[in-house]
Structure 1
Amino acid sequence: MCRGCHPNTVNSEDLVAGPLPDGYWLEAFPFSTNATLPDLIGYGLGFSGKPSAIRLFQTPNGTSSSGWKMTEIQIMEFPVGMTYADLTGDGFNDIIICDRYGPGMNELWDSDTNNGGRVQWLRNPGTSDATPYWEAHEIGRSTGMHRLEGRLTLLSTGHFTSLGTTQILALPIIPASGDLTSPAPVIVYTPVYSGESPNIPASWEKSVPFASQFRLIHDVKLLKAGREGVVLLWVDRGTGQWKYNIVGTGLPKDGNNPYWGSGSVDIARVEDDEAGYIGFHGNTVAVYLKDNQTAAKGGESLKDSSLWRRVVIDNFGPLSVDHTGTIHHVATIKDSKKKSESFAIACMGAPVGKPENQGVYVYTPLNLANNEFRRTKVSDQSAGHLAVAGFTNPAAMDIASISYYVPGYHTGPDPPSIRINSLSSTISVTKLGKEVLLRVPRPKEILGCQVVQMPLVMIAGRKLTLVVVRPLATVPFECYGGVKIIYGTITLANGTSRGVAPPANTVSTTQSQGRIQAGEEGAVIILVEPAHNELQGPFSTMSMISEGTKNVFPQTSDVPADVRAMTFPFIKVEELPWPNSQDFKDFEFYNLTGFQVYFNDDAMEKVVHIQAWTLGLRETARFHRHDKDPFCEIHYCISNGGGNGGMRYFDPDTEFLDMEKELTKDYVESKSTLLPVPDMHEHGPLWKIQAGYANRPQLNSNGTAAYPWHAWLSSEFGQSPLPIVPPLGPDVQKYDVWLA
């Protein structure tokens, strides 16, 4: 079961390269065996008459480069899968790659007649700028060394039957063009070194441990994914013989769908069990779980199929009538700091055209005993293959992805690209009494990504996420999301610039218009977005608001357990321990506290304090001037119940307020000005402003801001005597909800 779905995205997304001519494979590639940060290898399949360029993208970290430097290291026809190993012992990783697959599964290039299904290794020259093309050396050939949807043939290196030698496990997808039913061989290539060049493979021995057991092979790591399902392959150290076990049969056969079993697979750790669960896909997102987590662990547990049960946690459906699955690749996010590892999926996208069918999602286990995972979308871009590594910090995992873009077969609406989504958070979270303290980096201190973010809370059906945006970074948002600026400036898609508030005594929309660009100092914002399947108003009861209000801090080690356990109730103001709380007796006026945001450097400069309020129809939050505590506030409307609620303010020079008459319509309308604040809008400063400044407040003698009398009043104010006893019933009531 997948819960806590996040339908929209705040992208910590950096572009590595784009637009590209095509896209298919992406691999995190440590250039040397002691590399701290990996580079990337990326390429497409190419197409008839247009070979593919194998590209090395060098990490900019630790170099003088301002971006990922691209070098073409080889040109190949229809390359598919790759892996890497140091085959020469010189400390630099070489690339093992298969090519000459052919235009498609029904047009495979035969290994005997057309040099098809070739496996080669590319020798690393030892410096990324040495030669335009790396030396290519053939290893072997087998028709169909590839796969239909992207990772149809996979290469895996390791010490299988020869403990002192790196061997290559190579798996064709099918044995011949169009043959989805016959078994494909599982091949092991072992290098043979000669005396003349003891460090360079002179030839390769080929063995076939499984010639007739497996069909439509789609992926292989420790496990193989294919028509038989999820299969463990291993070598019995006692006998030296290859063995296998079908851990689970995967997706059942269904009608005319030619694809069943499993398409891609990876293993995830749970606490001290390195084989805690298995993430895999067919046309669904599914996992294999153990009913007894205290039973066998690690690789031994994979040899006993009875321990595992299949659980479907999500279903994106097929992309086309040909049963091409939305999902193309699965990869575990290795992180020793987390109690349980998450996994990510790559979704191809078009032609169905549903936004959820394209992008990169992360699935995080919440409660394995109850089959619960949380789904989070980290990229909206088409993805065919993932590379998970610490690209900017070896201690923090990122997800790199490449668009699935194969001309003549499947292309998305956007030009293909390679990008990196950062999963690391530099936002510190601490429980502070009944509130949460958030310490954020200054925007200019963000390294390696465009933004850092932290989901906070859902209030009245709208999710609030704290986002820090790097200076001049451009970030895409859903058009219906709102952006509340709490530091810095942004420019909207239409060229309009905004700061922390609109001009004084005005109201402005906060909708993002699809994207924003931060100003020269960057920006800190609150993203306000409608939560999936939640009511956004109007609300006729407080219980409706409470049902749409919940803690959404992520279940990660970045967030303490006491913060994740917090609830955020709306408390009636008359029940709060405030000196004037009884002024609101029998008022439908509620408060939700709150969040303190500071910069996390030595200055610990306060950015903002955020809390939420609700007020019933025909009521007032009562006029006040903030003349005891030094702060300024802007009201951001989440839901304007009656449509005409908003701020009222007196003439700035009015000193006296009649506290009895302020509850009457005639007095209020004659003394104050109404500034209606619709949904997803905010108002500008109501305080007195220093001459020559846009919003800097004049100060009273005690250091407080010079405010006029002001208050939030809901729609239809004055149509009922105050307080309204009994409160309005749900057939009439419409609550306002706002942030301040």
Structure 2
Amino acid sequence: MHRLKIGHFTQTQHWEIIGLPIVNGPFDVSVPVLLFRQPDNVLTAKAWDYEIIDKDYFHLIHDAEMFKVHLLDQLLIASREGLTWLYYKEDSTEWIIEKIADGEQKDKQQTNYYGSGGVDIGKVEDDSFAYIAALEPFHGNVVSVYTKTTNNSLTQIQWQRHVLDVYGYPNQNGEGTGHYVVCADFDKDGTDEFLVALRGPTPNEGVFYYKPVDLSRGLFTKWKVSDKSAARIAVADFDNDGFADFATIGYHVPGYYLAENPSINVFYNRFINRITQAKNELQLMRQNDELLFTIPRPNKILQYQALPFLTIGGITLSLEVLPPYSSRYVGENTYIKVLAGIIHWKDSSTKSDQSVNQSRT
């Protein structure tokens, strides 16, 4: 089994385990999804009883995220089919498979790897299913988020896919550098951020931190928080200070990718206090006929900040600062004047990437 999920999927009296194999032979052979039931005495039982939930739908399952609806646990599965919702329907005593999204389909004709490879669910305030963060496809290089176009039940929600980043190109086997994604509220503002684990090689190696700016438009800022090869990420309050930390393990799997000096690392959440102190650092005051701005020093910028200060004829002027490694979506009708530093301009239509230290539209 490649992934195991422990919960209460059909009842609440005994534990159940759903087993998700990654493959079942060649890629065109379907993968069986199994449910194991806890025996009355786990110490003396020779085996757990099991049933096959499904043996025809899934191919190349890489990950799954568990969430609860009422009293029962359900799964959001990342596989070659994309993102799929798997749950047990009590009134009809049957398993239901609902397609959520197709995932990455760009290279479907050239490779066996398409669909989705990693998934987690982002929460915003009371909405426990506010957005979906995904790495696509299997061992993919595409970071995507799915946001709601309607706020209905899960079966009726229309999800819009936003591609945030593409980390390099697939290797000769069709694999990219991404391997894991996890959501958590690291800064305790009520909105989940998410981390992406990149196995390598450099420069696409380490962990990136993504923070929502405007979910309705799929806008996130990001910055790099680790340069170490990362296969998986564990989130916990390791130092018991009330804030979420994270730990990583390097990727070193023969036949796939071998990171140099793979290691286990713990990263403590120390920027939270500094981010809190950094709020409202952009300040504006008027002195006679001039506007005076107060901005943080470049090495003190820890989060994206914006200060709209003047609107004329429907055009708004705004002063913005971005921390290192962060990004900001720029629309077609936006004009940029770089006042300090250098930015990298990425054009999704031409796939160009160039340094800019001057004005740009």
Q: Distance in 2 between matches of 1:375 and 1:169?
A: 34
Structure 1: which amino acid aligns with 2:213?
A: L
The aligned amino acid for 1:311 is: H
Amino acid of the structure 2 residue aligned with 1:160: F
Higher RCO, 1 or 2 (CA under 8 Å, sep at least 6)? Answer: 1
* Aligned counterparts of 2:116 and 2:241: Cα–Cα separation in 1: 31
Alignment map for 1:379-398 (pairs within 5 Å): 379-393=226-240, 395-398=242-245
Query: In 2, are the aligned partners of 1:180 and 1:215 still within 8 Å (CA)?
Result: yes
Name which of 13, 35, 39 aligns with 1:164. 13
The residue that corresponds to 1:420 in the other structure is 266
Give yes or no for the alignment of 1:371 onto 2:218. yes
**Partner SS for 2:6:** strand
Deviations along 1:274-322, one digit per CA (max 9) or x if unpaired, are: 0100001113000111013xx22xxx42x23x51121111111334121
Q: Distance in 2 between matches of 1:348 and 1:191?
A: 35
Residue 193 of structure 1 corresponds to which residue in structure 2? 40
Distance in 1 (CA, whole Å) between partners of 2:187 and 2:93 is 32
| Residue from 192, 200, 209 that aligns with 2:53 | 209
SS in 2 for 1:208: strand
- Whether 1:315 aligns to 2:159 is no
Name the % identity.
Answer: 32
- The question of 1:155 aligning with 2:4 is answered yes
1:223 pairs with one of 76, 89, 93:
76
Give the alignment partner of residue 257 of structure 2, picking from 383, 386, 410. 410
After TM superposition, give the deviation of residue 339 of structure 1 in Å.
3.0
Match of 2:291 in 1: none
Q: Which amino acid aligns with 2:47?
A: S
1:434 Cα offset (Å)? 4.9
- For residues 121 and 89 of structure 2, the distance between their equivalents in structure 1, rounded to whole angstroms, comes to 21
- Specify which of 331, 346, 349 is matched with residue 200 of structure 2: 349
Report the CA distance shift for 1:457/1:419 in structure 2 as closer, same or farther (over 3 A): farther
331, 354, 364: which is aligned to 2:182?
331
How far does residue 423 in structure 1 lie from its aligned partner after superposition?
A: 3.0
Aligned with 2:104 (options 248, 251, 258): 251
- 1:173 pairs with 2:173: no
**Contact 1:168/1:189 (8 A) holds in 2:** yes
Structure 1 residue 268 and structure 2 residue 103: aligned? no
| 8 Å CA contact 2:209, 2:224 repeated in 1 | yes
TM-score normalized with structure 2 length: 0.72
Q: TM-score, normalised by structure 1?
A: 0.36
Q: Which amino acid aligns with 2:257?
A: H
Partner amino acid for 1:234? Answer: Y
Partner of 1:125: none
> Does structure 1 conserve the Cα–Cα contact (< 8 Å) formed by 2:301 and 2:321?
no
CA distance in 2, matches of 1:256, 1:215: 17
Taking the aligned partners of 1:391 and 1:193, their CA distance within structure 2 comes to 34
Q: Per-residue CA shift, 1:497-531, capped at 9, x if unaligned?
A: xxxxxxxxxxxxxxxxxxxxxxxxxxxxxxxxxxx
**1:458–1:549 Cα contact (<8 Å) kept:** no
> Aligned in 2, Cα 1:401/1:372: closer, same or farther, shift over 3 Å?
same
The 1:457/1:230 distance shift into structure 2, 3 A limit, reads farther
1:464 to 295, 299, 320: 299
- Which position in structure 1 is the counterpart of 2:321? 551
> Is 1:263–1:281's contact at 8 Å kept on the other side of the alignment?
yes
Judge conservation of contact 1:457–1:464 (CA < 8 Å) in 2.
Answer: no
Q: SS state of the match for residue 362, structure 1?
A: strand
Question: Structure 1: any 5+ residue segments left out of the alignment?
Answer: 1-144, 146-152, 436-455, 468-546, 555-569, 571-613, 615-637, 639-740
Task: Please name the residue that 1:399 is paired with.
Answer: 246
CA offset digits 1:567-625 (Å, max 9, x no partner):
xxx9xxxxxxxxxxxxxxxxxxxxxxxxxxxxxxxxxxxxxxxxxxx9xxxxxxxxxxx
What is the one-letter code of the residue matched to 2:250? S
* 1:291 alignment partner in structure 2: 149
What's the offset of the Cα at 1:263?
A: 0.2
Q: Secondary structure at the match of 1:393?
A: coil
Q: Contact (CA 8 Å) 2:143, 2:164: kept in 1 or not?
A: yes
Would you say the 8 A contact 1:330–1:346 is kept in 2? yes
| Counterpart contact for 1:271–1:340, Cα < 8 Å | yes
CA distance in 1, matches of 2:125, 2:250: 33
Aligned length: 289
2:122, 2:130 within 8 Å by CA — same for their partners in 1? Answer: yes
Q: Is the 8 A contact 1:183 1:213 kept in 2?
A: yes
Quick one: distance in 2 between partners of 1:466 and 1:267? 28
Distance 1:189 1:325, change over 3 A: same
Distance 1:184 1:408, change over 3 A: closer
Are 2:282 and 2:295, in contact at CA under 8 Å, matched by a contact in 1? no
Distance 1:431 1:407 in 2: 49
- Report if aligned partners of 1:457, 1:549 keep a CA contact under 8 Å in 2: no
Within the candidate set 132, 147, 150, 1:278 is matched to 132
Shift of 1:408: 4.5
Larger radius of gyration: 1
Given the superposition, is the C-alpha separation of residues 182 and 391 from structure 1 closer, same or farther in structure 2, using an over 3 Å criterion?
same
Check whether the contact 1:457–1:465 (CA below 8 A) recurs between aligned residues: no
Are 2:248 and 2:265, in contact at CA under 8 Å, matched by a contact in 1?
A: yes
Q: CA deviation at 1:407?
A: 3.6
Unmatched tracts of structure 2, length 5 or more: 66-74, 285-293, 303-316, 325-338, 342-361
Contact 1:167 1:188 in 2 (8 A): yes
Equivalent in the alignment of 1:684? none
Aligned mates of 2:192, 2:226 — CA distance in 1: 19
The code of the aligned residue for 1:348 comes to: R
Structure 2 Cα separation of the partners of residues 251 and 408 of structure 1 = 24
* 2-structure distance, mates of 1:433, 1:341: 24
Query: Does structure 1 conserve the Cα–Cα contact (< 8 Å) formed by 2:186 and 2:245?
Result: no
Report the residue type matching 2:131 in the other structure: Y
The superposition leaves residues 221-248 of structure 1 with CA deviations (integer Å, 9 ceiling, x where unpaired) of: 2310001100111111212211111111
Deviation of residue 376 (structure 1)? Answer: 1.3
Task: Measure the CA separation in 1 of the matches of 2:160 and 2:212.
Answer: 16
Distance 1:363 1:234 in 2: 29
Matched position secondary structure for 2:188: coil
